[in-house]
Amino acid sequence: MGEHTYTPTAKDLSYTFGGVPPVASLRSGDVLTLFTEDCFGGAVTTVDDLPSQVCTFPYLNPVTGPFFIEDTEPGDTLAVHFLSIVPARKTGVSSTFPHFGALTSTSHTAALQPPLEERVWLYDIDAEAGLVRYRARNSDFTADLPLDAMHGTVGVAPAAFEARSTITCDAHGGNMDTPELRAGTTLYLGVNMHGAMLGLGDGHARQGQGESSGVAVEIAMTTTIAIEVIKGVPTLWPRIESDNAIMSVGCARPLEDAFRISQHDLVGWTAQLTGLDTLDAYQLVAQAGTAPVGNVVDPNYTMLASLPKHLLRGADLYGGTHERLRATPHPDATGTGAP
Amino acid sequence: MGEHTYTPTAKDLSYTFGGVPPVASLRSGDVLTLFTEDCFGGAVTTVDDLPSQVCTFPYLNPVTGPFFIEDTEPGDTLAVHFLSIVPARKTGVSSTFPHFGALTSTSHTAALQPPLEERVWLYDIDAEAGLVRYRARNSDFTADLPLDAMHGTVGVAPAAFEARSTITCDAHGGNMDTPELRAGTTLYLGVNMHGAMLGLGDGHARQGQGESSGVAVEIAMTTTIAIEVIKGVPTLWPRIESDNAIMSVGCARPLEDAFRISQHDLVGWTAQLTGLDTLDAYQLVAQAGTAPVGNVVDPNYTMLASLPKHLLRGADLYGGTHERLRATPHPDATGTGAP
Amino acid sequence: MGEHTYTPTAKDLSYTFGGVPPVASLRSGDVLTLFTEDCFGGAVTTVDDLPSQVCTFPYLNPVTGPFFIEDTEPGDTLAVHFLSIVPARKTGVSSTFPHFGALTSTSHTAALQPPLEERVWLYDIDAEAGLVRYRARNSDFTADLPLDAMHGTVGVAPAAFEARSTITCDAHGGNMDTPELRAGTTLYLGVNMHGAMLGLGDGHARQGQGESSGVAVEIAMTTTIAIEVIKGVPTLWPRIESDNAIMSVGCARPLEDAFRISQHDLVGWTAQLTGLDTLDAYQLVAQAGTAPVGNVVDPNYTMLASLPKHLLRGADLYGGTHERLRATPHPDATGTGAP
Amino acid sequence: MGEHTYTPTAKDLSYTFGGVPPVASLRSGDVLTLFTEDCFGGAVTTVDDLPSQVCTFPYLNPVTGPFFIEDTEPGDTLAVHFLSIVPARKTGVSSTFPHFGALTSTSHTAALQPPLEERVWLYDIDAEAGLVRYRARNSDFTADLPLDAMHGTVGVAPAAFEARSTITCDAHGGNMDTPELRAGTTLYLGVNMHGAMLGLGDGHARQGQGESSGVAVEIAMTTTIAIEVIKGVPTLWPRIESDNAIMSVGCARPLEDAFRISQHDLVGWTAQLTGLDTLDAYQLVAQAGTAPVGNVVDPNYTMLASLPKHLLRGADLYGGTHERLRATPHPDATGTGAP
């Protein structure tokens, strides 16, 4: 097991999954502590820094990486376990963004109305207290919300020689924007090319389900992951395992197709794990499952289908990968702060 | 305060919201214990009773009622609090149904493929232990799931002189199929005609989020509600209040429109309750809200937008209706079993 | 064959399909000349009459009828042939309407943006020249467009005891808003209750495909229809027959489901008419069919699937109903102008 | 003006837009005659060649190119005029494909049903008579359909460093699958990177609107294009100009968003060309426009919004590019047949 740290400079950041050369190599079993910039590349630091003015398309939502994962081929699965996700700054930022979000017309749900006002909110992050402080802009209203740090964007190079913007998500992962991707969980991604090409970024101090304004509480992160390569086991859509649940991720529009993909994958996974036939597994998922909403704002929306693990009665989940990675000792993370 | 009981005969059941004369009258402050049939009218009692054979369209998803609520007019709100929802039988039933559900082509998401196998599952309901026992049909797999009794269908007569099938949901409520409609919650429905015309049915011993197979653990219920009329306060889309959260319900296709409706309503409600301006409320909901999925199978899908009540800092919620109804003494429910 | 005329007063108009007593009775073979009001009930007569101010919800989109069609039962088909559709006024009217239309957020595709400006356009109708004159409001631009008179709304009482607003469309017809419903075509509607209960209205001097602004060139009409009852032949979704084509209508959201419904119906219809098996019919429709867009603005959207009749090689279409009705002599239409 | 010919070998074909080095360079004013393979790479030649067996993902829907267009930069527009599109073989091919098409569940509209039968149809192409002969597989039914040769897939490298599979379409063009892309039309594509990187393929002898089976009458083509670079004029979404109409293309899911994009673009274009303000242009498009359906099967669906050119009263359309290219003499096309 190797322990690595990686802190990118601005020019090392990536804006696509696929089509980008690797910044470093990792092996199965390695632990990596890395720094990720926020979705605005750190350019929004006051409420007067309007994202549409201080950021330049397509230099949005940078990811750290890609990391070449040795000995991975199409048909393998890459497991990425989050040992820790720690805010690397004291202030998180959110905003509205012109014609982006669930409660506005957009470039695709096109309308003739002018955009909503672009407005920035700053959040105080108190990592020790585990709090994120919301402050209204037009009143003195404040609210302390639980810190629930996560990565919005984690993915590998897509199949079919594609390179996809880090703004979107699909079968390769990407901008899934689900609050389920927090420390303690393991993400399984199907490998589409030699080296897998893992990248991650878009840390959120927290977000609501659906991320309806289009922007979470964005913040740079110092994150430690442990990875494992599962040879010869394909994974079609991203899957997440926590201590208590298995989850299938669907990314699509309309939202019901994201729901269908995630439910379909979970039904098949459940059937495989339990020996139930397909309809019996469908029935079990329909009554016992939950459907945590990811984002309803990105180019593809995200829905998860989740089932409590105790219903699987000890079935073999990717050969015990999650338990193994969960037990990985956390390295000392010094030296990985913001550049 | 009046205490009432009502047990319908088969011919007293309704299959639409609107267009049906009332079965009884209630007043603000009344408590009613009533019996509701299951969505199959009680016709499925063994695994050989295929719903498409033992049921006859449109005699599906019967509701008990409608109840004429005295002194209600368009522009008022009817609050329906669930004091208790108790399974009235020892066995719940679920099934697949030809071309209905999320993981099959349907009458509207039309395809040329033959339907999935129609299959029935029976569930043992142990109300004392609070358990619902799933039994696979094609193996000996069983699983005990938590009993979480709820009503899938609650509504009033729609606006615009419409009568809507109890299979669908919309601004008048109806077949919302959200697991949030459990005992201890208050449902707020906008009144669209003199008398409101409240009906309810479609008890579920439990359901997963999304109800992906199209059918929950269906069961007759003995339910006690307490109602209150809130004069001169309109409610555009159904809202739910629990002890800990406020929730707005959206019913639509595609699913993102159900999401948008629910988020839009919750943002407006939050702004009104907190004094935040619209964008500040949007931001708060986006970071602090959850989006519990209702159904993704009915003619309209259901999404909820939910916010913790403590963020409202004691704001006046419908004049304290929920707390008042929550404190209503539960009447003796004798005499309301299955006919 | 009976010839009838009918001119409603304002209080005779209907605002739902279903739930309304008949205004008159007709028999198979009858010819009826009737007057229909425009979708605003005639209340918009100058560019200063903003619909949201001069109209009152739900008194929008009135239909003339319903007409009780003798000897009709569920499982029959009602054929409605349009012998003529003639503008009953010299001026048509269109508008934007707050939060209604394809290029604006709406009540369901909900956003926080304020509505577009509400604006009214008047069109000169020159029935003799067959022209409809567009006049810009904010410049001197004008354009003469072809008169292509049609009915946006034609339907019968829905199934399942429903009453549906005349604003929406579904399997019973209703507000389909397709420019294909012009004189010379025959509309086939499945009968859902004894008497069928035919109503029609919402005349358009013309409309574009999709009706993207939400409002066509609205005008009162004097219309002559000939009807025929086809006993024992069910029709699931509305179908249209012209001299050259057969068309299936799908009404749904999202728009691809309206497409799927219409294509599915046309494939089945083609298979039945030609003896092709289902996949061979699917292939023929896929290569030879067109998909005329109806509306993309109403509560349900409309798509049509169309196939040239010559490909059917003389197959029996509803027993020759269209040819028979097409040959019906046109009665003298005096006495049916605006009241 | 340079005249060029280009015939690729199999290894020269591309499977993405973006991420591929150019095969040759062209200049504004050049004429190019090129060969394109069919969407199956020519591998389906008998009804027993099932595409899922004889083709290998992702080697589907190859395009010829990319061609580096000299002196193009982001912010320019590339005009591609189709002087001729001529079938390069005597037989076209179509098929069903497992879980692909409008009338089947798919990878994204996921269901548990088995796929439809995979079946291949061969079409005789009679280019002289202008006919395409359909032959049923399970009966002796045949039908002669008009030859209407077109390219399903034409595009440039996408923005934001993306590489997109040739299976999909988006703002960069790609697999639009619209029957409007026939000889005599000019396609305008916004340039996203230096050199534009034009590719085209996916010839159809004809297709129905919507391409509901997922596969048109696929055939290799010998195609002659004339190109022009319009400096400093950006084009956001693909646009098509014919002798009689201007058309805006929208690519998205759900289908109403493709509709919205196309209508929104056409309204803006019309306003710019006529001097109408936005609402007046919206009104004109809503009453005078058509909405030709492209595909309702690909990862993004395609809708077009079309307006008759005569309504523009001689407005300057991209500086007269279409007329200029339309007048280009057609070169001798010898030497561009199938390899």
A109 touches chain D (CB under 8 A): yes
Q: Which residues of D touch B112 (CB under 8 A)?
A: 103-104, 116
Instruction: Quote the pLDDT of residue B206.
Output: 98
Q: How far is C131 from chain A (nearest CA, A)?
A: 29
Q: How far apart are CA A55 and CA A59, in angstroms?
A: 7
pLDDT at residue number C147: 98
| Tokens representing residue D130 in the block | 């202008």
Residue B197 pLDDT more than 80? yes
Instruction: Look at A19 and D109 and tell me if their CB atoms are within 8 Å.
Output: no
What's the rounded Cα separation, in Å, for the pair A244 and A248? 14
Residues of A in contact with D18 (CB under 8 A): 19, 163
pLDDT at position D335 is 43
Q: Which pair of structure tokens corresponds to residue D198?
A: 């034009």
Are D282 and C103 within 8 A, CB to CB?
yes
In DSSP notation, D276-305 reads --HHHHHHHHHHH-B--B-BSSSSSEEEEE
Q: Which residue of B has its CA nearest to A313?
A: B143
* Interchain pair B111, C254: CB under 8 A: no
Give the rounded percent of residues in chain C with a pLDDT score beyond 90: 97
- Report all structural domains of chain D as residue ranges with CATH numbers, in order of start: 3-237 (2.60.120.580)
Residues of A in contact with C114 (CB under 8 A): 113
3-state secondary structure of A274: helix
Q: Provide DSSP, B238-307.
A: -EEE-SSEEEEEEEESSHHHHHHHHHHHHHHHHHHHH---HHHHHHHHHHH-B--B-BSSSSSEEEEEEE
CB nearest B113 (choices: D110, D116, D254):
D116
The answer to whether A301 and A251 are in contact (CB under 8 A) is yes
Q: Do D108 and A260 touch (CB under 8 A)?
A: yes
Instruction: List the single residue in B with minimal CA-CA distance to A283.
Output: B213
Per-residue pLDDT tens over the stretch C122-154 = 999 999 999 999 999 999 999 999 999 999 999
Cβ A104–C109 below 8 Å, yes or no? Answer: no
Region of C78 please: left (phi>0), alpha (psi -120 to 50) or beta: beta
User: Strand A221-230's sheet: what is its strand order?
Assistant: A3-6, A31-36, A221-230, A77-87, A186-190, A239-241, A245-252, A301-308
Q: B72, B1, B67: which is closest to B232 by C-alpha? A: B72
Residue of C nearest to D289 (CA): C208
> Over the stretch C255-279, which tens digit does the pLDDT of each residue have?
999 999 999 999 999 999 999 999 9
Select from C102, C279, C287 the Cβ nearest to the Cβ of D145: C287
Q: Find chain D residues with C-beta within 8 A of B105's C-beta.
A: 104-105, 111, 113
CB D159, CB D115: distance < 8 Å: no
DSSP state of B332: P
Token pair of D86 as six digits: 């001529």
Residue D271 sits at the vertex; the CA angle it makes with D269 and D272, to the nearest 5 degrees, is 65
Chains that touch A (3 or more CB pairs under 8 A): B, C, D
- Whole-number Cα distances in Å, C153 to C147, C150, C158, C175, C302: 18, 9, 14, 4, 12
Dihedrals φ, ψ of B17, to 5°?
A: -100, 120
DSSP state of C309: G
Shortest distance, CA A95 to any CA of chain D (angstroms)? 22
Which residues in chain D are closer than 8 Å to B115, comparing Cβ atoms?
113
Q: Which two tokens stand for residue B273?
A: 């309750």
- pLDDT for C337: 43
Whether residues A210 and B274 touch (CB distance < 8 A) is answered with no
- Chain A, chain D: beta-carbon pairs less than 8 Å apart: 93
Residue B177 pLDDT greater than 80, yes or no: yes
Q: Do C255 and D256 touch (CB under 8 A)?
A: yes
Nearest to B185 by CA among B105, B242, B223, B136: B242
* Cα–Cα distance for residue pair D115/D111, rounded to 1 Å: 9
Pairing of strands B24-26, B63-69: parallel
Residue A309 confidence (pLDDT)? 98
> Residue B334: what pLDDT?
46
Show the tokens assigned to D79.
């005009």
Take residue D115 and report the two structure tokens written for it.
């796929």
C-alpha distances in Å from residue B293, one per residue of A103, B238, B267: 18, 15, 18
Q: What distance in Å separates residue C148's CA from the closest CA in chain B? A: 30
B207, B254, B289 ranked by CB distance to A287: nearest: B207
The Cα–Cα gap between B63 and D225 comes to 65
Q: What are phi and psi of A33, to 5 degrees?
A: -105, 125
Residues 224-243 of B with CB under 8 A from A: none
Q: Does D273 touch chain C (CB under 8 A)?
A: no
Q: What are the E-state strand segments in C136-253?
A: 142-146, 150-155, 164-165, 169-170, 173-175, 186-190, 196-206, 217-218, 221-230, 239-241, 245-252
Would you call B112 and C282 a contact, using CB atoms and an 8 Å cutoff?
yes
User: Cβ separation of B104 and D112 shorter than 8 Å?
Assistant: yes
Cα distance from A330 to chain B (closest Cα, Å)?
Answer: 29
- pLDDT over 50 (residue B339): no
> What burial class does residue D52 get, using C-beta atoms within 10 Å of its C-beta: 0-12 exposed, 13-18 middle, 19+ buried?
middle
User: How high is the pLDDT of residue C253?
Assistant: 98
The reported pLDDT for the residue numbered A334 is: 47
Size of interface B-D (CB pairs under 8 A): 35
Q: Best residue in C108, C168, C278 to probe B by mutation, most B CBs within 10 Å?
A: C108
Interchain CB contacts (distance < 8 Å): C and D: 201
Q: For chain D, which chains pass the contact test of at least 3 CB pairs under 8 Å?
A: A, B, C
Cβ contacts of C207 within 8 Å, gap of 6 or more: C150, C152, C177, C179, C216, C217, D286, D287
Nearest residue on chain B to D115, alpha-carbon basis: B113
What phi and psi, each to the nearest 5 degrees, are found at residue B63? -115, 150
What is the model's pLDDT at position A74? 98
- Choose among A147, A142, A172, A176: nearest CA to A61: A176
Decide if B210 and A311 are in contact by the 8 Å CB cutoff: no
Would you say A158 and D168 are in contact if contact means Cβ atoms under 8 Å apart? no
Query: Tokens in use for C51?
Result: 């619909």
C neighbour chains, 3+ CB pairs within 8 Å? A, B, D
pLDDT surpassing 60 at residue C335: no
- Give the CA angle between residues C246, C247, C253 to the nearest 5°: 170
The kind and range of the H/E element at B145 are strand B142-146
Q: Hey, are the CB atoms on B19 and C15 less than 8 Å from each other?
A: no
Distance from CA of D133 to the nearest CA of A (A): 34
Provide, as residue numbers in chain A, all residues whose Cβ is less than 8 Å from the Cβ of B121: 283
Query: Tell me, what DSSP letter sits at residue D79?
Result: E
List strands edge to edge, sheet with D77-87: D3-6, D31-36, D221-230, D77-87, D186-190, D239-241, D245-252, D301-308
Question: d(Cα D316, Cα D309) in Å, to the nearest integer?
Answer: 11
Position B338 scores a pLDDT of 42
The reply to whether residue A282 touches residue D112, judged by beta carbons under 8 angstroms, is yes
* CB contact residues (below 8 A), chain B span 85-104, against chain D: 103-104
User: Token digits for B93?
Assistant: 């039933």
Nearest to D259 among C96, C134, C210 (CB): C210
- Among the partner-chain residues B113, B116, B254, the one whose CB lies closest to the CB of D254 is B254
Each of the 339 residues of chain A gets a pLDDT tens digit; together they read 799 999 999 999 999 999 999 999 999 999 999 999 999 999 999 999 999 999 999 999 999 999 999 999 999 999 999 999 999 999 999 999 999 999 999 999 999 999 999 999 999 999 999 999 999 999 999 999 999 999 999 999 999 999 999 999 999 999 999 999 999 999 999 999 999 999 999 999 999 999 999 999 999 999 999 999 999 999 999 999 999 999 999 999 999 999 999 999 999 999 999 999 999 999 999 999 999 999 999 999 999 999 999 999 999 999 999 999 999 999 974 444 444
* CB contacts, 8 Å: A112 with chain C: 103-104, 116
Contacts of A113 (CB under 8 A, 6+ apart): A105, C104, C105, C111, C113, C114, C115, C116
Enumerate residue ranges in chain D where pLDDT < 50. Answer: 333-339
Which of D159, D253, D260 is closest, CB to CB, to A254?
A: D253
C107 — pLDDT class (breaks 50, 70, 90): very high
Residues of chain D contacting residue A299, judged by C-beta atoms under 8 Å apart: none
